[in-house]
């Protein structure tokens, strides 16, 4: 039987080893956050963005940052796990951090961490040939508060949006904020193109502060992407804008960009989305 190795608080152990006690705060309350990171040839191109977001989230959630948890340590630890698990191509790494044991108001603050690696799905390594069919998840709304942009372990709205997508035969579902506007999707940020202008909801709309979102916003007005769109703006996204868009695509750190082909009776093209994908990846 093949053993899958993980890193738990700096110790390399078998993935099947029991490690979480019943009174773990991460398990009981979703008291933690996580990063999903793409590794390509044991290189992590966007590692600085991931670590900056992770450390910012830990501070915002009042976590004690483990002294060992540095950008260099993450790079080395993920590479070592890839070697141990014989993963040499495109890899998905997940770093989960959570508070230790205790009840809701306990002062226990020792931060624990878990690092896992697995092969990246093959279809994540190229642009989707067929456009995604997306819907809207109507049963929960994200609050546009100070914690909305954090990739926390309390991921219930997105889990339910994913289940809604599966039950209704969508490839993904768009998530609404408490203003009934679209903030993001179940596992991705949202971009749309109208009249050669690229748009995405601002972080104040409650979306996750996506690493690929940030990377694209930094690159889109520089060569060679500057020739694809005439401008890039952050703007709230309502259903009206969704139905009037020329193109629509989703981004995250694992698959990069996936274009959307349809929403309700609306269909979208992919010409500029494909140009952006080829320029970035």
Closest CA to 65 of 101, 110, 20: 110
| pLDDT tens-digit map of 112-153 | 999 999 999 999 999 999 999 999 999 999 999 999 999 999
Burial class (CB in 10 A: 0-12, 13-18, 19+), 145: exposed
d(C-alpha 70, C-alpha 65), whole Å = 9
Asked whether residue 140 is assigned to any structural domain, the reply reads yes
8 A C-beta contact, residue 155 and residue 28: no
The total domain count for the chain is: 2
Cα–Cα nearest to 114, from 32, 222, 210: 32
pLDDT band for 229, please (50, 70, 90 cuts): very high
pLDDT recorded at residue 61? 94
Give pLDDT, residue 112.
94
The CATH number of residue 11's host domain is 3.30.470.10
Q: Say if residue 1's pLDDT is above 70.
A: no
Domain membership of residue 215 (yes or no) is yes
Q: Tell me, what's the pLDDT at 222?
A: 81
Asked if residue 227 and residue 165 are part of one domain, the reply reads: yes
Is 108's pLDDT higher than 70? no
**Token pair in block for residue 241:** 């804008």
Dihedral (CA of 110, 15, 49, 196) sign: negative
Range of the structural domain that residue 114 is part of: 5-120
Q: Is the pLDDT of residue 107 over 70?
A: no
pLDDT per residue as tens digits for the range 174-199: 999 999 999 999 999 999 999 999 99
Mean of pLDDT over the chain:
94
Amino acid 225: pLDDT: 81
- Strand ranges inside the chain, DSSP E: 5-8, 11-14, 32-40, 90-99, 111-119, 132-142, 172-177, 182-185, 189-194, 197-200, 231-234, 247-252, 256-263, 266-267
Instruction: Please tell me the pTM assigned to this model.
Output: 0.95
Question: According to the model, what pLDDT value does residue 21 have?
Answer: 86
The residue among 89, 120, 151 that closes a domain is 120
């Amino acid at each position: 039987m093949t053993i899958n190795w993980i890193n738990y608080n700096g110790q390399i152990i078998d993935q099947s080893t029991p490690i979480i006690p019943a009174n773990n705060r991460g398990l009981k309350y979703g008291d933690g956050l996580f990063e999903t990171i793409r590794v390509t040839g044991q290189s992590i191109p966007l590692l600085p963005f991931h670590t900056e977001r992770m450390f910012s989230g830990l501070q915002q959630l009042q976590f004690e940052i483990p002294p060992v948890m540095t950008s260099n340590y993450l790079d080395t630890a993920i590479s070592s796990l890839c070697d141990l698990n014989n993963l040499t191509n495109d890899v998905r790494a997940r770093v989960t951090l959570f508070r230790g044991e205790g009840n809701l108001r306990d002062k226990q603050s020792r931060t624990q961490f878990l690092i896992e690696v697995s092969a990246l799905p093959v279809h994540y390594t190229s642009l989707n040939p067929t456009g995604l069919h997306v819907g809207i998840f109507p049963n929960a709304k994200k609050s546009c508060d100070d914690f909305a942009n954090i990739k926390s372990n309390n991921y219930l709205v997105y889990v339910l949006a994913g289940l809604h997508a599966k039950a209704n035969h969508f490839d993904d579902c768009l998530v609404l904020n408490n203003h009934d506007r679209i903030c993001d999707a179940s596992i991705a940020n949202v971009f749309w193109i109208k009249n050669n202008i690229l748009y995405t909801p601002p972080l104040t709309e409650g979306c996750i502060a996506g690493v690929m979102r940030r990377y694209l916003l930094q690159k889109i007005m520089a060569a060679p992407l500057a020739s694809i769109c005439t401008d890039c703006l952050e703007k709230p996204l309502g259903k009206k804008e969704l139905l009037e868009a020329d193109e629509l695509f989703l981004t995250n750190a694992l698959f990069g960009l996936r274009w959307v082909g349809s929403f309700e009776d609306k269909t979208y093209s992919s010409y500029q989305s494909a140009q952006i994908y080829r320029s970035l990846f």
